[in-house]
Amino acid sequence: MPIFIWIVLFALFASLVLTGLLRRYALAASLLDIPNERSSHSLPTPRGGGVAIVIIFLLGIVLLFKLGLLATATLWAFLGAGAWVAVVGFIDDHQHIPARWRLLAHFIAAAYGLFWLGLPTLFLFGIDLTVLGYVLAVFYLVWMLNLYNFMDGIDGLASIEAITVCVGGVLLTVLGTGVSNQAYVLLLLIAAVTGFLIWNYPPAKIFMGDAGSGFLGLILGLFSLQAAWQAPQFFWSWLILLGVFIVDATWTLVQRFLRGEKVYEAHRSHAYQFASRYYSSHTTVSLTVAAINIGWLLPMALWVGLGSLNGLLGLVIAYLPLLFLAVHFKAGLAE
């Protein structure tokens, strides 16, 4: 529909302009990421640009709701949970919030979003496991939120991941069930993130910050759960689309935990961080992730989503090369 095209174009332009304004604010307020021994950067850089993604996306979904392109439950799930996480992240960007309070806030956001979206009734061997499903879903959303924060460490990576995953989500829903409201919302998010990426593409002129990265992790997690309502296999497809971030972050966390390290402390031992130092290039790594997402994970996700391959089997096949790369680049090991 023509009006939606204009909405998407305006969202891209508005995100681009707002990110520039946020950069000026960050410079004036000395809101800078100062390089240290755990950084993947060498120059002080403004942060907090991800707030542009949050504002434009949330305003956009309100407009989509007014146009009848978004369900009430989806609006309140994304609006309430997303805004809450973004505010907590924004405060943390300005003044540190202890990890336990951040985590509590993340669980509140996940539970709120899940309250509105809900889950399909889950039975196994005649036993109703719906309550267990809700508990696991909340933990899944909290992990998605935090892993996205962990993986936002080099220029362009978190933005490119969001855009390519959302492109996969659009193709999945259009080819699987036809054009749906989820496709409209995904395209809106693509536009909002693209406007920010223009500033964040290597060498980045501004970083996303916790407000943006946590918001994206939660929203993508909610998208994946919402997709399960369209077709159960779509959840497996979304896990495949998000594979690069899930495998790198999870494998790194496990390795650091086994070594007795404090897993919530900042570090630079993710596979993508080792790779960026090995190649001396953020661009190479971020574009390689885009190529993996489009050339490998997207076809696997569609194969599963269109019912031609078992979801669990497809997930294992898709993740094996990613696990090999994580091990190859020594994810989670001390430098």
Q: What is residue 236's predicted lDDT score, i.e. its pLDDT?
A: 95
Q: List Cβ neighbours of 292 (8 Å cut-off, separation of 6 or more).
A: 244, 322
d(CA 52, CA 2): 24
Q: What is residue 44's predicted lDDT score, i.e. its pLDDT?
A: 84
Are residues 285 and 272 in contact, defined by beta-carbon separation less than 8 angstroms?
Answer: yes
Q: What is residue 39's predicted lDDT score, i.e. its pLDDT?
A: 61
d(CA 123, CA 141): 21
Q: What is residue 302's predicted lDDT score, i.e. its pLDDT?
A: 97
pLDDT one-digit tens code per residue, 209-266: 999 999 999 999 999 999 988 888 999 999 999 999 999 999 999 998 888 787 777 7
For residue 104, give Cα distances in angstroms to 85, 97, 110, 240.
11, 11, 10, 28
Are residues 50 and 71 in contact, defined by beta-carbon separation less than 8 angstroms?
Answer: no
Per domain, the residue ranges of the chain are 2-328
Mean pLDDT over the full length of the chain: 92
Q: What is residue 36's predicted lDDT score, i.e. its pLDDT?
A: 62
For the chain, list residues with pLDDT below 70: 1, 36-42, 121-129, 335
314-322 contacts at long range (C-beta below 8 A, 24 or more positions apart): 314/236, 314/237, 314/240, 315/236, 315/239, 315/240, 318/240, 318/243, 319/240, 319/243, 319/246, 319/247, 321/296, 322/243, 322/244, 322/247, 322/248, 322/292
pLDDT one-digit tens code per residue, 181-213: 899 999 999 999 999 999 999 999 999 999 999
